[in-house]
Each structure stands twice: as structure tokens, then as C-alpha cells.
Amino acid sequence: MLRSFPSVTSEAAPSSVPSGPRESRLDGRPAVTAANLSVAYGRVPVLREIDLQVAAGECVALMGPNGAGKSTLLGCLVGVVRPACGEVSLFGKNARNRDARRQVGFAGQEPGLYAELSARENLIFSGRMYGVQNVNQHVSRLLEESNLTSAADRPVAQLSQGMRQRVAVLRAMVHQPQLVVLDEPSARLDTAGKQWLASLLTRCRDHGQTVCFASHDVAQCRTLADRIVQLDAGRIVAIDPGRVHDGDAWLRSA
């Protein structure tokens, strides 16, 4: 039976992550393994010899200046970007393997929704693609818990940017994937929307789902992430346990 996500309002949203000890969520098995990844667009290198492992149940944030390679790395993790060399495995399978990709939920920087369909129809369509049982009821519950019921049957083209972003994130999670990958998920969200997102990702963590997301929001990364991976010029320059280097020039301008 599908579990529901938490109902979130701006008053009820948590200010911190009540997820308990990190060790209680992580079982040590790798959910994501990236080995010697390099990507170039034409002659321009975008990723350079990236090695990264993410444990099952871990939440990892990617930070760095624009053009650092965050989106490209996430694209490699979900199998939509093919590296020039190196490989990515998800739960022990190649990232481009169909079975592996069905265990992933991905939302990119652009919502990528069907503009002529309603929010409800977008979610139902995605749920059916993944074989979600009782999909109509499941989607109705997700919409209600995300405060989107009043807008659920309007065409996506008529929704605000914040509402579209919420729908895009929900679409990535509608089939309850083992790995959730989000590229700048809070970029179009207001304060209440960011609180909703934090609570949603906290629930994912608490249920053992693995989360990888890119963000410029320092507070969000510090609150949610077990580790923060900092990229610059296509390379990993630091991996920190839930903290960032305040002295970095890009961080001061983020």
C-alpha cells in the first residue's frame, strides 16, 4: 500500500529536520556510485574525473557556482546524460538500465509538465506510466497534502511558477522511488513552498529513500543534507558533513 506524504502548511512546517541519528537511516549499501565521470560538450569539459558514492538512505546536496557541473552530474546519475568516460551505477545496476531508472524520480530545473493538462492529469499520467495502484486516489491525496486541491484541475499553463514547481516535484515522487533526484527544487518556491519542500524531503529521508539535490540555498542544504558536495569547474572540491565553507567567494554571492 502506498504511504502518503505529510500535510504541510506554513504554520506546521518544521524549522529543522527531526530525522534522528544519521546511522539509524543509513545501512551502508551504495545507492549511487559514480566512478571517474567526465563529460564534455564539444571541446568544453563540464565534469572532470568525478568519483562519488551515496549510501542508501542518505541525503546529499550539491552546491557550487553556476556552471560548476551540478546539473550535468545529476543528469549522469539519472541516466539522461551519457558521460564521455566513467560510469554510474544505481543500486548495483548501470544507470541507463531500464529497471534501475524505474527506481528513480527526477525533477529538473524546468518543470517539464504537460501545459495543456491539469496538475492532476500530469500526476495521474506519470503514476500510470510507473504502474502505481489506485493512482487516482493516491494523486488526490498528494494534491490535498500539498495544498494544491483548489488548483488541481486547472491547466498547468494557468498555474503560478511556485505551483508548477510543486507539481513537478510531486510527479518525481508519485511512484515512491528509491532514489529522488532534484535539480534546484526550491528555485521557484516562496517561503511556504520551501517549508513544504523541506518537510517532504524530510519524510523521504525518514522512510529510507535516497535523496540527491542541487541547490544554492545554504540554509536548506545545511538543514537537510547528511553531506554537502561542493563542485567548481567540473570537479569536486570538497565533501563536507552538512556544512559549507563560508569563505568561498561563490558562496558569498549565491
Report the pLDDT value the prediction gives residue 25, as an integer from 0 to 100.
55
Q: What is the mean pLDDT of residues 190-200?
A: 94
β-pair partners for 187: none
Non-local CB neighbours of 184 within 8 Å, separated by 6+ positions: 109, 214, 215, 216
Pick the CATH number of 28-103+181-190+209-254 from 3.40.50.300, 3.50.50.60, 3.30.365.10, 3.90.1150.10: 3.40.50.300
Q: Which amino acid is at 24?
A: S
Q: Which residue has the higher pLDDT, 68 or 254?
A: 68
Asked whether the beta carbons of 236 and 250 are under 8 A apart, the reply is no
Q: What whole-number distance in Å separates Cα of residue 141 and Cα of residue 98?
A: 28
Interval 135-139 mean pLDDT: 96
Residue-level pLDDT at 26: 60
Per the document, the length of the chain is: 254
Q: Where are the beta strands (DSSP E) in the chain?
A: 30-41, 44-55, 59-63, 85-90, 93-94, 104-107, 179-183, 210-214, 227-232, 235-240
Q: Please say whether the beta carbons of 173 and 180 come within 8 A.
A: yes
d(CA 84, CA 118): 38
- Are 57 and 25 a contacting pair, CB within 8 Å? yes
Question: Using one digit for the tens of pLDDT, what is the confidence trace for 201-233?
Answer: 999 989 999 999 999 998 889 989 999 999 999
Give residue-wise pLDDT tens across range 174-183.
999 999 999 9
The DSSP 8-state label assigned to residue 2 in this structure reads P
Residue 118 DSSP class: B
* 7-62 pLDDT, tens digit each: 333 333 333 333 343 444 566 689 999 999 999 999 999 999 999 999 999 999 99
Half-sphere exposure of 176 (CA within 13 A, CB side): 15
Q: What is the pLDDT of residue 201?
A: 94
The domain ranges of the chain are 28-103+181-190+209-254, 110-176
pLDDT band, residue 246 (cuts 50/70/90): low
Cα 244 to Cα 19: distance, rounded to the nearest angstrom? 20
Cβ atoms < 10 Å from Cβ of 137: 10
pLDDT tens digits along 65-116: 999 999 999 999 998 899 999 999 999 999 888 888 999 999 999 989 999 9
pLDDT at 249 over 90: no
Average pLDDT over all residues of the chain:
86
Give φ, ψ of 196 to 5 degrees.
-60, -45
For residue 170, how far is the Cα from the chain centroid? 11
